[in-house]
Structure 1
Amino acid sequence: MTEPLLLALDQGTSSSRAVLFNPQGEPLASAQVPLAIHYPADGWVEQQARAIWESQFQAMHELERALTPSQRRAVCACGVTNQRETTVLWRRSDGAAIGPALVWQDRRTTDLCRRWQQRPDAAEWQQRTGLVLDPYFSASKVRWLLDHTPAAADAQRSGDLCIGTVDSWLLWQLSGGELHASDHSNASRTLLLDLEQRTWLPQALAAVGLSGEELPQLRPSRGGFGRIAAGLPFAGVPITAVLGDQQAATYGQLCLAAGQAKCTYGTGAFLVVNVGEKPVRAEGGLLSTVGWSDASGSASYCLEGSLFNAGTVVQWLRDGLGLISTASDVDALAASVPSSGELMLVPAFTGWGTPHWDPSARGLLIGLTRDTSAAHVARAALEGIALAVSTLVETAEAALATPLLELAVDGGAAASDVLMQAQADCSGLSVRRPPHLESTARGVALMAGQEAGVVADLEPLRQQLLSGASRFSPQLSDHARRAWRCRWQEAVRRCLHWQGDDHV
């Protein structure tokens, strides 16, 4: 008899994946479909909502077709995880998307957010949501779409408008247009959720110009989200968990106790620290967010530091500069030189997140000499990602008034030994890399399996994860680390306030 199997739908910024897991969290089969990203202007980042769904559908179809009949029958639950903050508008009446999907990296609403920062209730708005008034989050994207897409404003006036993040858009499609819902982890990234009450915040809705009827129904992350509709791959399978991608990766790394931390190196890099059952609001540009919630009313909260560009830096080396043929080539190129010398690359291609929250920051390559080679640039690129993450670590440690003991890592770029060693060296932390780097899909699959009753005890899985991990230990002296990071902070300072009217 085939053991129960778990399906994870992992909709990311650059691709959509469907992954099959056993109850031990081991991947058995997967399918992946690339997803195009469009850059119509400086700081503008868009996708087509229909293409997001079609890529996810295609991944589901390819995976289902690859399974045996007994495997297909054994799939007992589905979890959905997704790129967060990316905003989609569509019509309730026919499910047609309205306008582009504005991706989380999009910075076109910078001026609107600056105006919001001058509101008398700006501090309370940020405190209640745990976020900052920045283009990263969904609220300003919603307002921009309503202001610049006449069909969206018309649909809102007639009560025909649905607004959601990618999880909501996927759930609408997966349910055949029956369910407009979001989970607390995704909703906490919109600037519209009261973090403690886990309800839509009236003052935020008023500021954006929403009645609330346009927004999805809020549900716990672990719980019922209906079944996959007839006519779709895996039809009839219950959807029992929904999580934003960074929260899912945290769960997949089994960082389930307060003080445990992970960093995912995907399109961006995101440090997430579990802080327990009550939100912690911190200085230094850290974000407070819902980790996950369940039907009992309990929730886990996290602090998060955000770097907008990580894997995109490697893509730029490949597609923009032509220094490598494939992303996996970067490690060998970077390792061909012992040091980047004085060269530093600050990856602020689409602005800077934690701790500066400066949408006008831009990328910087500084320290070039006649001896600089492609290998030096590749090494500086990887070190720039690590140095930026070390700032997130330092900020989190200051906020919690306690050091992090270890950093669990995952995501595609974490395959780079050069990057992981640089991360250990500049942060001073032991870095733990699991045998399977895609913790996002694993996390939501495990949660879906718990709700379905086929995953009972996570502790054996945690012990297995620890025993199979690769580890990188710091090899720099404290003095060398401090000097390196001091030099880095000077480079970051020079990239801030660069674009547009902020140029000083």
Structure 2
Amino acid sequence: MPRFIGALDTGTTSTRFIIFDDEGTPYATHQIEFAQSYPFAGWHEQNPKEIIESAHTCINGAVAEFVKKGYKASDIEAIGITNQRETTLVWDSVTGKPLYNAIAWPDTRTSRLVHAFKAKPGADKVFHLSGLPLSTYPSALKLVWLLYNVPEVAEAHKNGTLCFGTVDTWLVYNLTGKKKYVTDSTNASRTMFLNINTLQYEDFLIDFFGVRGVLFPELICSADDSAFGVIEEGANVLAGVRICSCLGDQSAALVGQKAFEVGMGKNTYGTGLFLLYNTGTKPVFSKNGLLTTVAYNFKGAAPVYALEGSIAVGGSAIKFLRDNLKLIDDSDEVGQLAAAVPDAGGVVFVTAFSGLFAPYWIDDAQGTIYGITNYTTREHIARATIEATCYQTRAVLDAMQKDSGYELKALKVDGGMSNSDVCMQIQADVIGIDVVRPSYRETTALGAAIAAGLAIGVWSGLDDLEKVNKKGETTFSSVITEKKKEKMYSLWQRAVERCAGWVQVDEEDEDRLTEEKRQESSVSLSLK
């Protein structure tokens, strides 16, 4: 009889619950989307009640499917949780009711606050304490915005009843009947309140952001057999089952890919790309625009850190070919077109639709296609689009190796674009190391299940995970010469250099920027 673990995966737009056996095989799943709200330009909110309701719905739905296959709900020994990171929620500790919508991680309403806080004394200490640069991305300034702009939040803060949490905390708090107010270090490391070196809340950061008096969840390990509590009676069909793990989604994907050795990394090919690179038990601070984060922190073992790099444009470039240029009717056609030619015919597509992110950070670049001649076909452009993603991945991996001092051993991959054999072969050629693609690619949920299983002894240790999600694994190895690889990459680097500086500010833009600076100065004054 196999042993079963459930994984609750609450992403940015949907929630799903998947039941796995001890070899990583999924037996049942249920997924639903929840509403997204965009009240103003740059704002992105979610209903906290819908988030927890979607969790109950997905658990009940997957268990019903599981039971239909002849199993019992009681066969599920524990559940793990993985979640969208940085998304910020606030609620009252007395009533347990949310005080505002969840502010989702892509929300940019805090952009002016970012500029204001960068000008504050002590701002230079933030990166080396938290591992994160001041930006709209982490949770800290989202909480500051709520304190400044929502009277109910300010009142709860004054009364000492203001609870802050990320999605993991909100889920556990509600699933346990408000008995557990906790978070794990992978999620806490994305808030800017955690000292990345000690994995404890940092007084300097709490005071820097002016959030003294806010209630913060208890810090616990990512995998623990008792610290997360049990699902409350009557909430759903798994009442009484232990919650035994919790990890932020990108950390969960690293665990799901079993990238446990120093120098191993994973790349998730979605709309954008997220690369995590295992750097071992000591944090490594990047000099090349990467983030320092907690990879995982299992009970009884030293915490493991990672460097993280993000690429803004991945699958969205394929969507651009389909929706804007009308070169394809379906996203899957890109791989077919790219496979029809041996190379890109000298075409290089720098997909800098919003500038270039890590490791370049070129804000004034725009999307540019170089090398077009009478010989160029849509097949060449399709291949150049795929190559753009692969070249940027190499650039981030090179930066990670420089920062960490470790050479990447293998790149584990998942996400939509990883389904393309052509894309993965090009990726292996460009980086010159093996690209490993599992048969089952929902590695975020699998990572949460693995962490929970380790906590309760389904697996005795990391070495015992060898068989998990191993069947059908595909390895892509480089098939081109070192000389050709470097020639291709050199051409990409030349293109990147040439696309910089394309965006120029005219007089109208100058007036707009002057007004924004004036408003930022007003915000700065209000912070003093």
TM-score greater than 0.5 by the shorter chain: yes
1:217 aligned residue: 218
CA distance in 2, matches of 1:431, 1:319: 29
The answer to which of 109-118 and 127-136 deviates more is: 109-118
1:34 aligned residue: 33
Query: Structure 2: which 5+ residue stretches go unaligned?
Result: 517-528
Residues 437 and 474, structure 2, Cα contact 8 Å, conserved in 1:
yes
2:497 aligned residue: 490
2:292 matches 1:285: no
Shift in Å, 1:413: 2.8
Q: Which amino acid aligns with 2:390?
A: A
The answer to which of 207-216 and 163-172 deviates more is: 207-216
Change (3 A) 1:169 1:278: same
Residues 82 and 444, structure 2, Cα contact 8 Å, conserved in 1:
yes
1:227 aligned residue: 230
CA distance in 2, matches of 1:389, 1:80: 28
Equivalent positions of 1:63-212 (< 5 A) are 63-68=62-67, 70-211=71-212
Change (3 A) 1:35 1:120: same
1:49 aligned residue: 48
3-state SS in 1 of match to 2:156: helix
2:351 matches 1:346: yes
* Number of residue pairs the alignment of both structures matches: 500
2:524 aligned residue: none
2:526 aligned residue: none
3-state SS in 2 of match to 1:31: strand
CA distance in 2, matches of 1:356, 1:119: 26
3-state SS in 1 of match to 2:500: helix
Give the TM-score normalised by structure 1: 0.88
Change (3 A) 1:121 1:159: same
Residues 348 and 495, structure 1, Cα contact 8 Å, conserved in 2:
no
Q: Which amino acid aligns with 2:392?
A: A
Give the TM-score normalised by structure 2: 0.85
Question: Which has more radius of gyration?
Answer: 2
Aligned partner (choices 252, 255, 278) of residue 251 of structure 1: 255
CA distance in 1, matches of 2:364, 2:30: 36
Shift in Å, 1:103: 2.3
CA distance in 2, matches of 1:443, 1:265: 17
CA distance in 2, matches of 1:501, 1:22: 56
2:399 matches 1:395: yes
The answer to which of 224-233 and 35-44 deviates more is: 35-44
Q: Which amino acid aligns with 1:33?
A: I
Residues 184 and 221, structure 2, Cα contact 8 Å, conserved in 1:
yes
Residues 78 and 241, structure 2, Cα contact 8 Å, conserved in 1:
yes
Q: Percent identity among equivalent residues?
A: 35
Shift in Å, 1:294: 3.0
Shift in Å, 1:492: 6.0
Shift in Å, 1:248: 1.0
2:430 matches 1:426: yes
Shift in Å, 1:465: 5.3
Aligned partner (choices 405, 409, 423) of residue 409 of structure 2: 405
Shift in Å, 1:241: 0.6
1:459 aligned residue: 463
Change (3 A) 1:16 1:257: same
3-state SS in 1 of match to 2:478: coil
Change (3 A) 1:322 1:91: farther
Shift in Å, 1:117: 2.3
3-state SS in 2 of match to 1:390: helix
Change (3 A) 1:323 1:217: farther
1:21 aligned residue: 20
Query: Structure 1: which 5+ residue stretches go unaligned?
Result: none
Residues 11 and 56, structure 1, Cα contact 8 Å, conserved in 2:
yes
CA distance in 1, matches of 2:397, 2:433: 9
Shift in Å, 1:79: 0.4
CA deviations over 1:423-444 (Å, ceiling 9, x no partner): 2233233211111111111111
2:451 matches 1:442: no
Shift in Å, 1:83: 1.1
CA distance in 2, matches of 1:299, 1:125: 21
CA distance in 2, matches of 1:30, 1:71: 15
